[in-house]
Amino acid sequence: RTFAKLAGLSGDDPRGPTPVEGLDLWPWIMGTAKTSPRTEFVHDFRMTKNGGVGAIRIDKHKLIVGPEHEASWFGQFSPNATTRPAFGASECSLQKPCLYDLNLDPTEHHDISSEKPNIVQIMLRAWQDVNNTYLPPPNPKSLSAEFCSFVAEHGQFIQPWFNETKHLQ
């Protein structure tokens, strides 16, 4: 909605092909709002047969679901070298996700999932909501011809075009 507002649009124009999802971040970017209106952010979502793998952040907490090879930031305490430290994948899994308080542990080294099971459950529900709405159908048919046709019909402009009701049936 940030760019829609900058263009003088509301983002709710019924003439558009789909409603605009998102938030207007401009007041935060310009410094007139102290905090971002975005409180939830999905990191590195990868689809799998048994659910997604990746992470979700809600406010100060980050939940990692599944093994992450890039988890834990090694930042300032790493030596200045051309090779990165040898960190393996995190011990997180779908059955035992890892939870971090990014205000207290910005480098994600202290898993607090066993100390905060209620927060883990809340975040897992949010993760499942993403998983349930984010996945395409199994083995989806190619929609490239429909996409190209849509772009041609709209003066070679790319815009949201996928209609869930039409394409997922």
Tell me which H or E stretch contains 104. none
What does the pLDDT read at residue 160? 72
Please indicate whether residue 120 or residue 11 has the higher confidence score (pLDDT). Answer: 120
What does the pLDDT read at residue 58? 94
Q: Is the pLDDT of residue 158 over 80?
A: no
Q: Is the pLDDT of residue 27 over 80?
A: yes
What does the pLDDT read at residue 32? 93
Q: In what order do the strands lie in the sheet with 98-101?
A: 40-46, 53-58, 61-65, 98-101
pLDDT in tens, 82-136: 565 555 556 788 788 999 999 998 888 889 999 999 999 999 999 888 777 665 5
pTM above 0.75, yes or no: no
Q: What is the 3-state secondary structure (H, E, C) of 11-70?
A: CCCCCCCCCCCCCCCHHHHHCCCCCCCCCEEEEEEECCCCCCEEEEEECCEEEEECCCCC
pLDDT in tens, 35-80: 888 888 887 766 665 667 888 999 999 999 887 665 555 555 555 5
CA distance 2 to 156: 23
CA dihedral of residues 143, 148, 152, 156 (deg, nearest 10):
120
